[in-house]
Structure 1
Amino acid sequence: MASSLEPKKIYDVFLSFRGVDLRNNFIGHLYQALHRDEVYTFRDSEELKKGDQISPVLMNAIEESCIAIIVFSEDYASSRWCLEELAKIIECKEQKNLIVLPVFYKVDPREVRGGRKSYQRSLARHEFKLGKDSEKVKRYKKALSDAGNLSGWHLNDG
Structure 2
Amino acid sequence: MASISLSSFTYGWKYDVFLSFRGQDIRHGFIGYLYKALSGRGIHTFIDDEELQRGEHIMPSLVKAITETRIAIPVFSKNYAFSSFCLDELVNILSLVKEKGRLVLPVFYDVDPSDVRHQRGSY
| TM-score relative to the length of structure 1 | 0.66
Query: What is the CA distance between 1:47 and its match in structure 2?
Result: 9.5
Partner of 1:93: 97
Identity of aligned residues (%): 54
* 1:72 and 2:42 are equivalent in the alignment: no
1:143-158, aligned counterparts within 5 Å?
none
Q: Which residue, out of 32, 42, 46, partners 1:42? A: 46
Structure with greater helix percent: 1
Residues 1:55 and 1:17: Cα distance change in structure 2 (over 3 Å): same
Query: What is the CA distance between 1:89 and its match in structure 2?
Result: 0.4
User: Quick check: 45-54 or 15-24, which moved more?
Assistant: 45-54
1:4-19, aligned counterparts within 5 Å?
8-19=12-23
Structure 1 residue ranges without an equivalent (≥5):
1-7, 120-158
Partner of 2:122: 118
Q: Which residue, out of 84, 87, 91, partners 2:88? A: 84
Residues matched between the structures, number: 112
Q: Which residue, out of 109, 114, 117, partners 2:113? A: 109
Structure 2 residue ranges without an equivalent (≥5):
1-11
Query: What is the CA distance between 1:53 and its match in structure 2?
Result: 2.2
Q: Distance in 1 between matches of 2:110 and 2:67?
A: 28
